[in-house]
Structure 1
Amino acid sequence: MIRTINNSLRLLYVARTLARHDALFFLDRFPRLPIALVLLRKVMPLFAFGASRSQGLREGERLANALRDLGPSFIKLGQALSVRADLIGEELVQDLGNLRDRLPPFPFEVARETIEYELQAPLESLFVDFEREPAAAASIAQVHFAKVRELVPAPTEDDPDAVEEVFRDVAVKILRPGIELAFERDLRLFFWLAELAERYQPQTRRLRLTKIVETLADSVELEMDLRMEAAAASELAENFIDEPAFGVPEIDWQRTAKRVMTQSRVIGISIDKKADLIAAGHDLEALSHIVIRVFLHQVLRDGFFHADMHHGNLFVTPDGRLVAVDFGIMGRMSRETRLFMAEMLHAFLTRDYRRAADVHFRAGYVPPHKSLDSFAQACRSIGEPILGRPVSEISIARLLVQLFQITETFEMETQPQLLLLQKTMVTAEGVAQSLNPDINFWEAAEPTVAHWMRENMGIEAHAAEVVKDGLAVLQKFPAIVTKADTLLSEMEARERNRDHLDELREKLAQWRRDRAVYVVGGGILGAAAASLIALLV
């Protein structure tokens, strides 16, 4: 009851904010709503005082503005919805895809207090210089630039233990105060609404709304611990240690804790400043290819990818390297999922629609009672309008969006592990095209995808898998032999115990027989003795 009351009050506030922005339109798309929501839809616009200017804005723009006003949790929700064309439609997806989580900064004194509490040291002892004004303020955290002093070894012939003083520029990320409680409150509301939708709107169950909220909750939980983000940055850096065209900031682990993360400062030009990149002499066409190649290496080769590769998180250094920042949202993919994605994309782009359909059936994404031929026909209806265009106009992102739109017809359940990939692929393609409008995602991706498929899906790969499985069995063979020997020893011991037990049973039976003889004989002797005594008396 208390849960329902709290969530209902919060929902009223949310509804009023949506009404102010004329963004309650999405409720009209549900055929059967609980009576409470029907009344809410009709009444709430009457109480939307101080309505913001929404005339002339598209539905998606109005919804995005409302989510910004509702705060960090709803901004994250909007970002999650921005990959669900099957749920909200392609037009809304495009508008929510532009949602940027920019909020006013929190005061410097709050930042100081957080740093000193988390790192257990005065700010001045940690940094020789710390800029009071933040360089960036987003929904979850804000970033300040600072400078640190370190002593590094500088041995000489006269003094092998000599050190020298080195200054480094760093960026310090600090979580917003109270952000954990704010997310916890709103996630409770999201779970409640997802449960209501699945209860009263049976057609939404295949969308697995509760699972989507769980995925959002897991992502937020990781973002609330900056040590996890630091670890993600470190892992990504290791994966690209031999890639000169891509870099990741170095983590300062001594100045990193749960709510504070310090990393090397990126000196470069934001990738969204196209004119500045051109003025600096950077090759935009080469950069666009680097964006796609790096993204595909993360997805296919490593199965670990930066899932927030928008313009604001990518910089170009003076030497032409692409550097990523903000590793709060990362995606992981199993080898099986990577094989599915590679084979599915290759099937579409070679117009082998039956194979594209078969891949979905083999992965279990389409229920087995559905028609393979019908699904292949649906795949053709998606691929031909896109792939039939000039090669420079083919959009992999658009193909994926339309593929997800047919999920309802074929009762496909949502695959959360693919949603994050879809969103990232759409973003990466958009970044590449902003640098080079003529780039074709498939032409840029084909060498990387083809090479990976040869290594992982060709005859050599299958042979390698067989050898790998054989080696695995051989490695286990000594343990199998040892276990078999142990089992045989146990069986022999049990057999010996069984023989010994039979012997004991025989002795016990003999003892019982002897005892019966003794008892009967003793009784007879006792009776005889008693009779003799009686005669004598």
Structure 2
Amino acid sequence: MSIGSTFRLIHAGWVLAREGALSILPVESLPPMMKFGIGLGRLVERRSVRKTGSIERLNAALHKLGPSFVKFGQTLATRPDIVGVQAAADLSGLQDRMPPFDPKLVPGILDEALGSRAAQLTEISEPVAAASIAQVHKARLRQPGEAPKIVAVKMLRPGVSERFHADTQALYAGARLAETFSRASRRLRPTEVVRTLDHSMRLELDLRLEAAAISEMAENIKDDKGFRIPDVQWDHVAQNVLTTTWVEGIPIRDHAAIDAAGIDRKALAAKVLQSFLRHAIRDGFFHADMHPGNLFADPKTGDVIAVDFGIMGRIGTFERRFLADILYGFITRDYRLVAQRHFDIGYVPSEQSVDDFTLAIRSIGEPLHGRKATEISMAKVLGQLFAITDLFQMRTRPELVLLQKSMVLVEGVARHLDPELDIWTIAEPVVGDWLRREEGPLGRVEDLVGHVTRMGDALGRVPDLVAQAQLALAEHRALMNRPRDGLLRNAILAALGMALVALAAIAVLALRLAFAA
């Protein structure tokens, strides 16, 4: 842990406490030790924050601290049910209204990134959106033999990579301090969580990867309705420049404009939530930064239009099944299923009681069932979750951090559009259809194909293993050069033969089980 990163962490804590960041936390729902720590931190709070409760200076503070802190503020801005309506409104300015970088730098950035093709981008506008990492300009693309088209040109902020690196080093320092001085925090694996976030940030700093993410998602959703994304202009993509088709839409936070266009906000909220669940559960590949600044409503069709694919989430089949079962368990009030899946994926240690954990899950699920979003205090729910994770020594799964963060964002956006949102009713068609398909004949066949493929891969590696064993045997014979070498060789070959027989037996058994299912 470097002195510089530790100092940066202390400085960040001081600035956030000074500007009132601790005042927006749901203190009444937190454990006693966290309440005590927040109370100490608030001693340095500005008088204006204590007097008025307004934290209008926090936006500027987060921006100065760096892009990682801005991302955290964007998440809080979508959750007025947690941080309060006024705090969420104050933080909403982080979503796409950051100060742009010097426009004089734009031509040089484009020339260096795109070479001669930069000249094909004309009529470049002032920034239409400026975020913590990049800013977007509207332009006209003129390519030989094609009609001119309006495009969006995204450019990374100069020096943003260095700022990200400084941010993550401070976060690593904080995680290591927590693990050193708080035994309870170790089960949450803070260093692994930061490493996961660090990886996603590094991917976000290469716009060629964002272009590839748009391309992959476009293939996944080509037959879907209600959700649209722009098209990549591959000839005008570089590490720090991304060009896509321009999309016209109403910012999803502009409720007055959405209502004026005659768009049903309840239907729009359902499309936001269902699209996210469909991408996560069906495809295992989802937009992991769906804050309101990245979402628009099509005034003609009422579809959701998403932009900014710098942070994408990916989960495997096992995690997708976990998410679907958890949601379906809450929908159907099958709390035993919810509890068991937490054990299966390793969230809850095996020595804990499934029955006791089922009761804990029921204590959360029952008060939420059938209630409107306005009747649910997420601050209290989060406080209860804190207590349960501590009681059952629950461990963090770092690979699911982006999914959890994204669900908080998406649910917050949907709640804002539809205050009477019933998440379970909206989620059921997506979750139920996917589970019914997985349990049906087609899902069984796909499982069988997957088992056979993995088995074939394993069998295909056997010759290499045999060759490696024979090579090791030859080296051993050369070294030992004793009469007992023949005995050793026979023993090794016999062991290999037994391994092959066992592998074949496992293959046959797996095929029988698959067909029986």
Q: Classify the TM-score, shorter chain.
A: 0.7 to 0.9
Deviation at 1:9, TM superposition (A): 4.0
Asked if the contact 1:144/1:172 (under 8 Å) is kept, the reply is yes
Match of 2:134 in 1: 141
- After superposition, the C-alpha distances for 1:115-171 in whole angstroms (9 at most, x for unaligned) are 111112385x2313111x21111111111111011234xxxxxxxxxxxx5110011
What CA distance in whole angstroms lies between the structure 2 residues aligned with 1:406 and 1:365? 12
Distance 1:229 1:349, change over 3 A: same
**Residues 447/10 of structure 1: CA separation in 2 closer, same or farther (3 Å cut):** closer
Q: Does 1:212 align with 2:193?
A: yes
Distance 1:233 1:390, change over 3 A: closer
Matched, 1:370 2:365: no
Q: Quote the Cα distance in structure 2 between the aligned partners of 1:77 and 1:433.
A: 19
Deviations 1:458-488 (A, max 9, x none): 57634652465357657988x699899999x
Are 1:252 and 1:263, in contact at CA under 8 Å, matched by a contact in 2?
yes
Aligned to 2:408: 426
Aligned match of 1:443: 425
Q: 1:277 to 1:361 in 2, by over 3 A?
A: same
CA distance in 1, matches of 2:401, 2:464: 45
Cα distance in 2 between the residues matched to 1:167 and 1:52: 56
Counterpart secondary structure, 2:107: helix
Are the aligned partners of 1:396 and 1:441 in contact in 2 as well (CA < 8 Å)? no
1:275 aligns with 2:270: no
Letter in 2 for 1:129: E
Q: Compute the displacement of 1:334 (Å).
A: 0.9
Alignment deviations for residues 338-372 of structure 1 (CA, whole Å, 9 cap, x no partner):
11111122122222222221121122210111111
Q: Distance in 2 between matches of 1:392 and 1:103?
A: 31
1:247 aligns with 2:228: yes
Distance 1:116 1:59 in 2: 44
- Aligned with 1:191 (options 161, 168, 172): 172
Gaps of 5+ in 2: 472-481, 484-517
Residue 120 of structure 2 is aligned with which of 110, 126, 142? Answer: 126
Among candidates 112, 129, 136, match of residue 107 of structure 2:
112
Q: 2:16 aligns with which of 8, 15, 18?
A: 18
Q: Distance in 2 between matches of 1:433 and 1:74?
A: 24
Matched, 1:328 2:310: yes
Aligned-partner Cα distance in 1 for 2:406–2:163: 26
Structure 2 residue 325 is matched with structure 1 residue 338: no
Q: What is the match of residue 180 of structure 1?
A: 161
* Rg larger for: 1
Cross-structure match for 2:205: 224
CA distance in 1, matches of 2:349, 2:86: 29
1-side partners of 2:19 and 2:170: how far apart? 20
CA–CA separation in structure 2 for the residues paired with 1:396 and 1:29? 16
Quote the RMSD (CA, aligned, Å). 4.2
User: Equivalent residues in 2 for 1:455-494 (5 A)?
Assistant: 455-458=437-440, 461-462=443-444, 464-466=446-448, 468-470=450-452, 473=455
Give the aligned partner of residue 237 of structure 1: 218
Distance of aligned partners of 1:184 and 1:480 in 2 relative to their CA distance in 1, 3 Å threshold: closer
Specify which of 353, 364, 367 is matched with residue 335 of structure 2: 353
- Equivalent position amino acid for 1:113 in 2: G
**Against the structure 1 CA distance between its residues 53 and 223, is the aligned structure 2 distance closer, same or farther, given a 3 Å change threshold?**
farther
Q: Pick closer, same or farther for the CA change 1:64–1:360 going to 2, 3 Å.
A: farther
Q: CA deviation at 1:397?
A: 11
1:406 counterpart SS class: helix
1:454 positional shift: 1.0
Distance 2:84 2:437 in 1: 39
Shift in alpha-carbon separation, 1:390–1:306, aligned structure 2, 3 A = closer
- Contact persistence 1:249–1:266 (CA under 8 A): yes
CA–CA separation in structure 2 for the residues paired with 1:24 and 1:312: 24
Q: What residue ranges of structure 1 are gaps of 5+ in the alignment?
A: 153-164, 491-500, 503-537
Question: Hey, what's the Cα distance between the residues in 1 that align with 2:398 and 2:193?
Answer: 7
- Closer, same or farther: CA 446–391 of 1 in aligned 2, 3 Å: farther
Q: 1:386 aligns with which of 368, 378, 389?
A: 368
* Counterpart residue number, 2:502: none
C-alpha separation in 2, matches of 1:59 and 1:405: 29
| SS state at 2:242 partner | strand
Deviation at 1:15, TM superposition (A): 4.6
- Give, in whole Å, the separation in 1 of the partners of 2:17 and 2:267: 46
Report how far residue 112 of structure 1 moved: 1.8
CA deviation map 1:300-339 (0-9, x unaligned): 1101011122222112234313211011111111110111
One-letter identity of the residue aligned with 1:115: L
What is the DSSP-based 3-state SS (H/G/I as helix, E as strand, rest coil) of the residue aligned with 1:369? coil
Alpha-carbon distance between aligned partners in 2 of 1:483 and 1:190, rounded to the nearest angstrom: 43
Inter-CA distance 206–108: structure 2 relative to 1 (3 Å threshold) = same
Cα separation, partners in 2 of 1:308 and 1:128, compared to 1, 3 Å: same
Number of residue pairs the alignment of both structures matches = 465
The structure-2 alpha-carbon separation of the partners of 1:312 and 1:9, relative to structure 1 and needing over 3 Å to count, comes to closer
Residue 54 of structure 1 pairs with residue 59 of structure 2 = no
1:331 alignment partner, SS class: strand
Q: 2:391 aligns with which of 402, 405, 409?
A: 409
Query: 1:410-463 deviations in whole A, cap 9, x for unaligned?
Result: 111112333322332233233333333334222222111111001124576346
Q: Which has the higher contact order (CA 8 A, sep 6+)?
A: 2
> Relative to 1, partners in 2 of residues 1:427 and 1:80: Cα closer, same or farther, differing over 3 Å?
closer
For the 8 Å contact 2:31–2:387, the answer to whether it is kept is no
TM-score, normalising length from structure 2? 0.77
How many Å apart are 1:264 and its aligned residue?
A: 0.8
Report if aligned partners of 1:383, 1:399 keep a CA contact under 8 Å in 2.
no
**Percent identical across equivalent pairs?**
42
